[in-house]
Amino acid sequence: MIFSSELIKGTFRTIVLKLLSDNKKMYGYEITQKLKELTFDKIQITEGSLYPTLHALESEGLVTTETEFIGKRVRKYYSLSPAGKIKMKEKISEFADFMNTMQFLLDIKTKTA
Amino acid sequence: MYCLNDQQVEYILDDIRRNGIELEDLQLNLLDHICCIVEQGLKEEDDFERFYHETIKQFYTRDLREIEDETIYLLTFKNYYTMKKIMMASGALSVFAFITGSFFKIMHWPGTAAMLVLGITILSLIFLPLMAIIKIRERTTLRDKLVVMIGALVGVLYTMSTLFAIEHWAGRTVLWLSTVCVSMFVLIPVYFFTGIRKPETKANTIVTSILLVGATCLLFTMINLHPGK
């Protein structure tokens, strides 16, 4: 099952920040592939939402960039800035709180081993 | 893995540009992304152009330009909040200067003019233009944007006219007359004919238009058309 884009929308920035935190530096295509791999294709992000988000994160100073020339094309690597690390922790904590509230609100029983 | 040649890379870049992507940074990001997909998926016997066009279709729902629109929207959204904060701060500062200036005026204390000039200048040159920019962005139709734009212009003219009048500066009569004319012959008709078309704003538009005509007429009666007398 692939999660709907409505579900992913609100957490997309958090996902990107976390991926960049776990990997030293990543480029756009790599981010999409990594996400597919980690979620067993359940989360598939479109290029239409990835690049606008990456540009916004860059302009907000949450990620830093470096470029590498590959023949005639340029590859842009993104990595987390110190401000991005703080933001990522805030976002994850906020999301964890949100999940707890939703579990209670929707009466979702967590699986126990 | 397929390896794209320089001509094919150029072909992709040209197509990205032709499809409305103008931000260079975004062009390069998309180019690399598409190249990666093509190199991973294209077989030696496959047709490059067909494979490329099938790939690029997955990037959008309407057209490729929507990625750039979304990028610009996200980038300006950040400024939107900064602008809103500056607008609120300048509004608060302006009100503070106004109230203090008015109190100083009643008490005949020194510093009245400085306070009023500061209050009016901030209101007309920072608060009103920022409010107009924010409101214009929120409006969807060109007509509504135009009403906000003219409204802000009249607001700036009105506050500047007041400043010129209380400071007895030269050109105050011309400024007052310009304010009255723009308000009466441009703002009110545009506002009236925009609002009257919509059933939900019809009643409100009539009442506000009457109030605006009344206020503009009152303003006109205060203008000294013969300053020499």
Q: Are residues B88 and B30 in the same domain?
A: no
Note the pLDDT tens digit of each residue in A12-51. Answer: 899 999 999 999 899 999 999 999 899 888 887 888 889 9
Q: Does the beta carbon of A56 lie under 8 angstroms from any beta carbon of chain B?
A: yes
Q: Are residues B114 and B22 in the same domain?
A: no
Residue A62 placed within a domain: yes
CATH of the domain at A15: 1.10.10.10
Query: Alpha carbon of B166 to those of A16, A79, B117, B180: distances in Å?
Result: 57, 57, 9, 17
Residue A35 placed within a domain: yes
Q: Are residues B87 and B186 in the same domain?
A: yes
Taking the CA of residue B70 and the nearest CA in chain A, the distance in Å comes to 6
Give B70's Cβ-side CA count (13 Å radius): 20
Q: Are residues B44 and B91 in the same domain?
A: no
Whether residue B32 and residue A49 make contact (CB cut-off 8 A), yes or no, is no
CB atoms within 10 A of CB B186: 14
Residue B196 placed within a domain: yes
Nearest to B26 among A51, A70, A75 (CB): A51
The full length of chain B comes to: 229
Q: Are residues B89 and B157 in the same domain?
A: yes
Whether residue B61 and residue A48 make contact (CB cut-off 8 A), yes or no, is yes
CA dist A74 and B29 (Å) reads: 8
Q: Does the beta carbon of A76 lie under 8 angstroms from any beta carbon of chain B?
A: yes
Report whether pLDDT(B211) > 60: yes
Q: Does the beta carbon of A97 lie under 8 angstroms from any beta carbon of chain B?
A: no
Q: Are residues B166 and B95 in the same domain?
A: yes
Full residue range of the structural domain in which residue B32 is found: 6-59
Residue B70 placed within a domain: no
Looking at per-residue confidence, does B84 or A74 come out higher?
Answer: A74
Nearest to A73 among B31, B70, B78 (CB): B31
B29: which chain A residues are within 8 Å (Cβ-Cβ)?
Answer: 28, 51, 54, 76
Q: Does the beta carbon of A31 lie under 8 angstroms from any beta carbon of chain B?
A: no
Nearest to B74 among A46, A52, A74 (CB): A52
Note the pLDDT tens digit of each residue in B150-204. Answer: 999 999 999 999 888 888 888 888 998 999 999 999 999 999 999 898 887 888 9
Whether residue A74 and residue B32 make contact (CB cut-off 8 A), yes or no, is yes
Report whether pLDDT(A111) > 70: no
Q: Are residues B141 and B205 in the same domain?
A: yes
Q: pTM of the entire structure?
A: 0.60
Q: How much is the ipTM here?
A: 0.86
Number of domains in chain A: 1
Q: Are residues B121 and B196 in the same domain?
A: yes
Residue B67 placed within a domain: no
Instruction: Select from B33, B34, B61 the residue whose CB has the most chain A CBs within 10 Å, as the one to mutate to test that interface.
Output: B33
Q: Are residues B120 and B217 in the same domain?
A: yes
Residue B66 placed within a domain: no
Full residue range of the structural domain in which residue A37 is found: 5-105
Nearest to A79 by CA among A92, A88, A98, A66: A66
Bridge partners (DSSP) of residue A77 are A27, A66
Number of domains in chain B: 2
Which residue is closest to B24 within chain A, CA to CA?
A: A74
Whether residue B74 and residue A46 make contact (CB cut-off 8 A), yes or no, is no
pLDDT of B52 reads: 93
Nearest to B9 among A46, A53, A72 (CB): A72
Whether residue B9 and residue A71 make contact (CB cut-off 8 A), yes or no, is yes
Residue A93 token pair: 């904590």
